[in-house]
Structure 1
Amino acid sequence: MADRGFDLEGRLAALEEHDLKRALSPVDRVAERGYFAEPSGGDLPVLDSAEALVFASNNYLGLTDDQRVQDAARQAAATVGTGAGASRLVTGDTLVHRDLERQLAETKGTERALAFSSGYAANVGTIAALEPDVVFSDELNHASIIDGCRLADTETVVYDHCDAADLRARLEERVERATREGREPADESWLIVTDSVFSMDGTVAPLSAICDAAEEYGAWVMVDEAHATGLYADGGGVVQAEGLEDRVQIQLGTLSKALASQGGYVAGSSALIECLLNDARSFVFSTGLAPPAAAAASEALHVARHGDARERLWENVAHLRDGLESMGFEVWGDSQILPVVVGDRRDAIALADGVRERDVVAPAIRPPTVPEGTSRIRVVPMATHDRDDIIACLEAFQAAGEEVGLL
């Protein structure tokens, strides 16, 4: 009988051959430094290995081990419970969720907000629930946006990365196509979707120009602030920094990066939120966000808005960027994400290994995550790194870069 199963060993061998095989390397704590196991994924060698500085985390404000955030999670677990126990529409809706959503809506300048079990679920659920006729999507948008378009079975038009002029041309092409086919384009629903900060390139979308194009052609704008929430004006994102709350119909993001928790959110009008809590399958058919996660995110957002963590982060970003560029490294981006572009994947792996040997963790990012020829080290400081930590990171890159022959 024919074997109709799957050649898993062959798949793994192919990944290994092309330097694409990934492995887990557990750490003893999520913070600016920690002890890491070998990539085999074995027991944590806390007593046997050197402490390493982490310059690859999305824990941008360093709030995962902040006492206030941890206390909020403990209090929620003790008072409300460790899990929601059911979907929000059944019995899983708690006052902890409502407090988080109230604060998110206030921060994002919207009527309401809705918490999802993950940022991925927020993107997929929102696009699928809206069922747009056409989505205009930045070519480097997150996988969850791409999957949301697939699930909605919508026509997707991809425009050049962060290029509002190309977006405008695509919108005009759509109008011309409808005219040729004898259709009225006004009968279609159009949604423009973009990340605000792009996770692998560190670039920031030209949101104002995107809104200009959307308004000219009658489209809605949806902005994923996953890598921006908590870091900009009053703890908001790029939408808040640019004062675009009234021009962006749908704001969403994650609670698992700067807000040091787990989950996602969508913020917008009351009508939008009502539609999503009825029609977004990833919300309706998922157990509600765990109350400790909701409470931790709420407290982290409060700290981001009213503390000095944001200022400390941006100071570290400036210091690190200046240092890397002064060595001769090519550093992309306009945000807290600093991609050190190497090009060749083997050189990137060698540089990451050299940095790791000097007790700095900043893994190589290579195809298929990024295009061929643009392999890089994604360097990200945290607000909780001190000046000595930044200097140690720069010294590790200097030594490793010289060793590999990149400097």
Structure 2
Amino acid sequence: MVDGHGFDLAARLADRKRRGLRRDLQPIERVAARTRVAGDPGGDIPAFDGEEHLVFAANDYLGLASDDRVQRAAARAADEVGTGAGASRLITGDTGLHHRLERDIAESKGTERALVFSSGYAANVGTVAALAPDVIFSDELNHASIVDGCRLADAETVVYDHCDADAFGAAMDHRAREAAPDERWLVVTDSVFSMDGDIAPLRRICDVAERHGAWVMVDEAHATGLYERAGGIVQREGLGDRVHVQLGTLSKTLAAQGGFIAGSERLVEHLLNTARSFVFSTGLAPPAVGAAREALSLARAGDRRERLWSHVDRLRDGLETRGYRVLGETQILPVLIGDGTDALALADYLEERGVIAPAIRPPTVREGTSRVRVAPQATHTDEEIDRCLAAFDAAHADLNLEPDSQRTATDPSGQGVQS
């Protein structure tokens, strides 16, 4: 090839492989607590053979993606409304089904109104940019969509130490000493962090923000649907009247696709006029809207949430009894290993024994804090939880793992963590 102004993608891919960052796709046969898997087929159709694996890697925490009631709701929406919205919601892509879902979300979140976006990523980048803050205070482990929203907003971004309310308060106090009186400040944080499984100190964050008159925005992607009335940490802590912007996704516990913002009437009216990721995107497909609405209803009722938390307790206790250190305090159970090669070896070992739990390594987490991320679903059985623990038990002996219990996670790349 003649040298010129093109892109040498082969060299870029080779560099990623050299640095251990080259990734492959791993198709699954169906979205459920158990499925067959296939190797990366490239551009070919995957071939599924062999035994089913137990999936301890998905964010479908209540197992609603395979629930027949949710599937029927998606089919009804396709039949009654259409398979796609057909246009931006500001043109002809706005349906009654969208408004019914938004009403249900607002009720669950205790807000005046909600607005559904095509994805959680679109909701984050669109909202942060549309608010156009002068200064953003952001937790260092916030999701990549928040990081990108900060970049698009072109605001001064102050990154504070992860889940450290004292560091956040000091950063805000320091900025206040040199701030112009008309500056607009936005504090943004995940509630549950997807790679550490810990929870932001939201009450203390609100205390500091209120002292300075700043707005608070909380991303509840990994919490929505798992607490009372299918709410998140904001609802659990009774902070609905202190958090100005509540964000969530429909693609995790709510088993569909899309994201949403919940807040005041004025907030929603402002965003539907100015959030570019809403204005210039086709409306969320009706089957996803119908599925999410049914999933939200099911998350409020029944015993799935209780079964999930029972599995979480059983897994955490079992892993710690077997000598592993488990981070966090939520349904996300990061098993800290330390060395990236060891984490990959453990993930491979588990998969060979029918358990899918991914290795998470740099640059998503800091060097020396690689881990295997375990995420149970309510639809796992007690026997399947025991099979998962047995695989970890065997690995501890066969791989001679020595988990490093003294380190914590971070994302030094500035790219944000993955979902």
Same fold (TM over 0.5): yes
CA distance in 2, matches of 1:106, 1:139: 31
State the identity %: 65
Match of 1:201?
196
In structure 1, the partner of 2:324 is 329
State the one-letter code of the partner of 1:177: E
Is the counterpart of residue 103 in structure 1 residue 122 in structure 2? no
Aligned letter for 2:381?
A: D
Q: Is the 8 A contact 1:35 1:44 kept in 2?
A: no
User: 1:2/1:17 Cα in 2 relative to 1: closer, same or farther (>3 Å)?
Assistant: closer
Q: Is 1:296 matched with 2:291? A: yes
1:284 partnered with 2:279: yes
- Of residues 205, 224, 227, the one that matches 1:232 is 227
Counterpart code for 1:306:
A
Q: Residue 267 of structure 2 is aligned with which of 265, 272, 275?
A: 272
The aligned amino acid for 2:312 is V
SS in 2 for 1:53: strand
Aligned to 1:181: none
> Matches of 2:376 and 2:45 in 1, distance apart?
27
In the alignment, is the contact (CA less than 8 A) between 1:37 and 1:43 conserved in 2? no
What do residues 301-344 of structure 1 show as CA deviations (whole Å, max 9, x unaligned)?
00001121111110000000000011111110111000001111
Change (3 A) 1:225 1:360: same
- Tell me the equivalent position of 1:220: 215
C-alpha distance after superposition, 1:183-237 (max 9, x if no partner): x3x3100000000000001010011011101111111100000000000121100
CA positional deviation for 1:99: 0.7
Choose which of 335, 355, 379 in structure 2 pairs with 1:360.
355
2:315 matches 1:320: yes
- C-alpha distance in 2 between matches for 1:210 and 1:117: 29
SS class of match (1:126): helix
Question: In structure 2, what is the equivalent of residue 174 of structure 1?
Answer: 175
> Deviation string for 1:28-58 (max 9, x for gaps)?
1000000000134554433x31110000100
Q: Say whether residues 1:54 and 2:49 are aligned partners.
A: no
Residue 377 (structure 2) aligns with: 382
> Which AA in structure 2 matches 1:107?
S
Q: How far, CA to CA, are the matches of 2:41 and 2:288 in structure 1?
A: 29
What is the number of residues matched between the two proteins?
A: 400
Matched, 1:305 2:307: no
Q: Does 1:66 align with 2:61?
A: no
Amino acid at match of 2:29: D
Aligned to 1:340: 335
Shift in Å, 1:152:
0.9
Task: Check the 8 A contact 1:34/1:54 in 2, yes or no.
Answer: yes
Rounded Cα–Cα distance in structure 1 between residues aligned with 2:382 and 2:3: 62
Name the SS of the counterpart of 1:227 in structure 2. coil
Match of 2:192, SS state, is coil
Q: Normalising to structure 2: TM-score of the pair?
A: 0.94
In structure 1, list runs of 5 or more residues that go unmatched.
179-183
Q: CA RMSD in A?
A: 1.0
1:262-312 alpha-carbon deviations (Å, 9 max, x no partner) = 000000000000000000000000000001101100100000011211111
Equivalent residue in structure 1 for 2:387, among 388, 392, 397: 392
CA contact (8 A) 2:65 2:71 kept: yes
Asked whether the 8 Å contact 1:121–1:283 carries over to 2, the reply is: yes
Paired amino acid for 1:389:
E
1:50-70 deviation digits (Å, cap 9, x = unpaired): 110000100000000101100
Question: What residue number does 1:243 align with?
Answer: 238
CA-CA distance at 1:19 after TM superposition: 2.1
> Which residue does the alignment assign to 1:79?
80
What is aligned with 1:210? 205
Which structure 2 residue ranges, 5 or more long, are not aligned?
Answer: 403-419
Task: Measure how far apart 1:159 and its partner are.
Answer: 0.5
Compare 99-108 and 391-400 and name the one that shifted more.
391-400
Q: 1:201, 1:286 → 2: CA distance?
A: 32
Amino acid in structure 2 at the alignment position of 1:45: A
**d(CA) in 2 for partners of 1:207, 1:268:** 17
Q: Residues 113-144 of structure 1: CA distance to partner in whole angstroms, max 9, x if unpaired?
A: 00000000000000110000000000000000
- Please name the residue that 1:156 is paired with: 157
Instruction: Encode CA deviations 1:131-172: one digit per residue, 9 max, x unaligned.
Output: 000000000000000101111101100001001111100011
2: CA distance, partners of 1:320 / 1:56: 14
TM-score by length of 1: 0.97
Matched residues in 2 for 1:126 and 1:56: separation? 29
Distance 1:50 1:140 in 2: 37
Contact 1:125/1:281 (8 A) holds in 2: yes
Deviation string, structure 1 residues 75-113 (Cα, Å, up to 9, x no partner):
000000000000000000001101100000000000000
CA contact (8 A) 1:23 1:40 kept: no
